[in-house]
Structure 1
């Protein structure tokens, strides 16, 4: 079972899953995915947040890939709050 952080939304897991399955992702294609039901601007915010916390890596031009920690999180092997230097306490402003 995955242990998400307080700052995470249900869309974060879905975004991470789609990016892992497809190899990479960017806001517009992700927002058009059948599995994700938020706008491209909301996806963009979530991608940046996931990158700030070490679960995604920005490759440039709005393209993101999962990091090793992102893979471990998706596999249920890592709690996001356990990622060194990336934990955050109670950031409610990140909710979409």
Structure 2
């Protein structure tokens, strides 16, 4: 289970999944391949927001890679509302521990 913050939109998960799967990506490529059905401009805005929040890194020329925090979010280990780590307990319940400072 993923813990998305109120600031996130549905396309953010698709962007992170795409970049995780392809190791890098640009808004143009994501739109052209048809996996993300939003305009290039909207994808670009969301990529900038994800980079500002620390889930992506912008390499330049519109190319992004996923950060360790982005990977943690995809694995359900990071709550992007509180920026707390989510620990999966043996009993199946999740607990949050220390938070990560993000803007």
Name the TM tier (shorter chain).
Answer: 0.7 to 0.9
Task: Report the TM-score, using the length of structure 2 for normalisation.
Answer: 0.79
Displacement of 1:33 in angstroms is: 2.8
Q: Residue 9 in 1 paired to residue 19 in 2?
A: no
Displacement of 1:12 in angstroms is: 0.2
User: Following the alignment from structure 2 to structure 1, what is the Cα–Cα distance between the partners of residues 76 and 32?
Assistant: 27
Displacement of 1:65 in angstroms is: 0.3
Give every structure 1 segment of 4 or more consecutive aligned residues whose post-TM-superposition deviation is greater than 6 Å. none
Q: Residue 55 in 1 paired to residue 31 in 2?
A: no
User: Following the alignment from structure 1 to structure 2, what is the Cα–Cα distance between the partners of residues 48 and 17?
Assistant: 16
- Greater strand content: 2
Larger Rg: 2
1:75 aligned partner: 75
Task: Report the TM-score, using the length of structure 1 for normalisation.
Answer: 0.85
User: Following the alignment from structure 2 to structure 1, what is the Cα–Cα distance between the partners of residues 101 and 77?
Assistant: 18
Displacement of 1:34 in angstroms is: 2.8
**Unmatched 5+ residue regions in structure 2?**
84-98
1:84 aligned partner: 100
User: Following the alignment from structure 1 to structure 2, what is the Cα–Cα distance between the partners of residues 58 and 80?
Assistant: 19
Partner SS for 2:59: strand
**Unmatched 5+ residue regions in structure 1?**
88-96
Per-residue deviation, residues 36-61 of structure 1 (Å, max 9, x unmatched): 11010000000000001010001111
1:25 aligned partner: 25
